A and B are shown apart, each in its own frame.
Chain A
Amino acid sequence: MPEPDLVAAALAGDRRALARLLSWVENGTEAGQAALAALYPRTGRAHIVGLTGSPGSGKSTLIGRVAQELRQRDNLVAIVAVDPSSPFSGGALLGDRLRMQDLVTDPGVFVRSMASRGQPGGLARATRDMIGVLDAVGFPFILVETVGAGQAEVDIARTAHTVVLVEAPGMGDDVQALKAGLMEIADILVVNKADRPEAQQTIRILQTAQQLSGPAGHHGAQAAGPTAPAAAWSPPIVQTVALEDRGVAELVEAILAHRRYLEASGYWQRRLEQQARAEVETWLQRHLLALLRERIGDAQLDEAVAAVYRREQDPASAARQLLEIVLQI
């Protein structure tokens, strides 16, 4: 199918066309680039909700439940679930769908799994572009599941409006909760598997950490200042038992409350501006890198690498010299 047809078909609700479009974008094809360009004016409407947390904390199951709850409230939902690629083979086992069985045959839900393809940070390079496609074709909610994240996989904060950090009981003491990284970017904290005996201790640890830091949350903190509303966002702690569908309605309420906060505080708009800048900068880097690689060529690059390897030149100087040659400066 030629490219304009696929875009039109996807916009008209053809799920096969949408799936193929997502592949083009994921693979960075020229047709994918053209489709993104055509669809971009339609983006910026969806509420993008990121779920992050350690492997095994229950992200996939919970995301499935959240999607069901949103469906019951008559919303279309798209899910993008990222799992890691093997650093050795480049292959991946994408198993997040396994936990979302109830959604598979619902025509109001679209689930897409993707591999991280070597990108650190918890998302894949193309995740944001794929979200853009799903946004453009009219999904009002896009739930994004990151790679099972440790402490520093914070890319989701630059991609989502609302970041939900999913913790399972017994994952560490109070000092873990004070460290920089994931805890800082959370807009909503979830203690999943809250029926376990250690859950109350985990909740206390999170509460204590919050009291020490004052209002946190990646959007709450940035919204502070003269233009911030009287009450800054304080990340709520929601208890869930995803397997039994407990606490999920409360979590959805918290997500919707966070959206209302973002809109009232003006942060929703500010975030769109920040994202526009970040995206242009990202593409500038990609285009520039590709251009420079092409201009420098393999031969000159190999020569510079060899000189560094022989300890005749340091890597920073070698790189600068290559740039000076191709840019004639």
Chain B
Amino acid sequence: MERKIRVLIAKPGLDGHDRGAKVIARALRDAGMEVIYTGLRQTPTMVAEAALQEDVDVVGLSILSGAHMALVPRVLEELQQRGIGDRPLFVGGIVPPDDVPALKALGVQEVFGPGTNTQTVIEFIQRVVHA
């Protein structure tokens, strides 16, 4: 049977704007992926537990609150604690360019800002999953 790419799209933190996350989830669905969408206000523990139970290939975090430097390390830590720190993680949302190298140094594979073409995200996921 065919193997589908499984992606978790999660919104950690307290901002309530999930339009971007939904646009990405929909685009990935239309690219033939199985997208697990967990909705708003996820704690890092909730994100990591969902990634574990769903055995996803990739984790995408949508963060618009500016709290990425606080949230991302905690998500990574929770993933590592569960033995799934090797799953590629990407961040979408509003991240100042100065923070991007720091996030990548932590282990984030890619950071997508506002206006990113959904095709770019799709190709990124296909590349990291098949790598």
Is B72 an interface residue, CB under 8 A from the partner?
A: no
**CB of A51, distance to nearest CB on chain B (Å):** 19
B10 (CB) vs chain A CBs: closest residue = A97
Contact A104 B32 (CB under 8 A): no
**B52 engages A16 (CB within 8 Å):** yes
Min distance, Cβ A113 to any Cβ of chain B, angstroms: 5
Query: Residue-by-residue, is B81-93 near A (CB-CB < 8 Å gives 1, otherwise 0)?
Result: 0111000000000
Asked if A20 contacts B46 (CB within 8 A), the reply is no
Known: A94-B36, A97-B38. A89 touches B50 (CB 8 A): no
Instruction: Decide if B4 touches A89 in the complex (CB within 8 Å).
Output: no
| Chain B interface, DSSP helix/strand/loop, else mixed | mixed
Interface residues as binary, B30-72 with A (CB distance below 8 Å gives 1, 0 otherwise)? 1111111111000101100110111100000000000000000
- Residues from chain A with Cβ under 8 Å of B55 in the complex: 19-20, 22-23
Across the interface, name the chain B residue whose C-beta is closest to A23: B55
Contacts of A90 in B (CB 8 A): 2, 4, 32
**Does B30 lie within 8 Å of A113, measured CB to CB?**
no
In the assembled complex, A105 has its CB within 8 A of some CB on chain B: yes
| Interface assignment of A101: CB less than 8 Å from any CB of chain B | yes
B53-A15 in contact (CB<8A)? yes
Q: What number of A-B contacts does a CB cutoff of 8 Å give? A: 91
Does A152 make an interface contact (CB < 8 A)? no
Contact (Cβ within 8 A) A94 B34: yes
Q: Which residue of A lies closest to B40 (CB)?
A: A98
A86 at the interface (CB under 8 A from B): yes
Whether a CB of chain A sits under 8 angstroms from the CB of B26 is yes
24 of the cross-chain contacts (CB-CB < 8 Å) are A15-B52, A15-B53, A15-B82, A16-B82, A19-B52, A27-B1, A89-B32, A90-B4, A91-B34, A92-B34, A92-B35, A93-B29, A94-B35, A94-B36, A97-B54, A98-B37, A104-B38, A104-B45, A105-B43, A111-B50, A111-B53, A112-B54, A113-B54, A126-B1
Nearest 6 Cβ contacts at the A-B interface: A28-B1, A19-B55, A91-B29, A98-B39, A91-B32, A23-B55
Extra inter-chain contacts (4) besides given A90-B32, A97-B50, A113-B54, CB under 8 Å: A91-B30, A97-B39, A101-B38, A105-B46
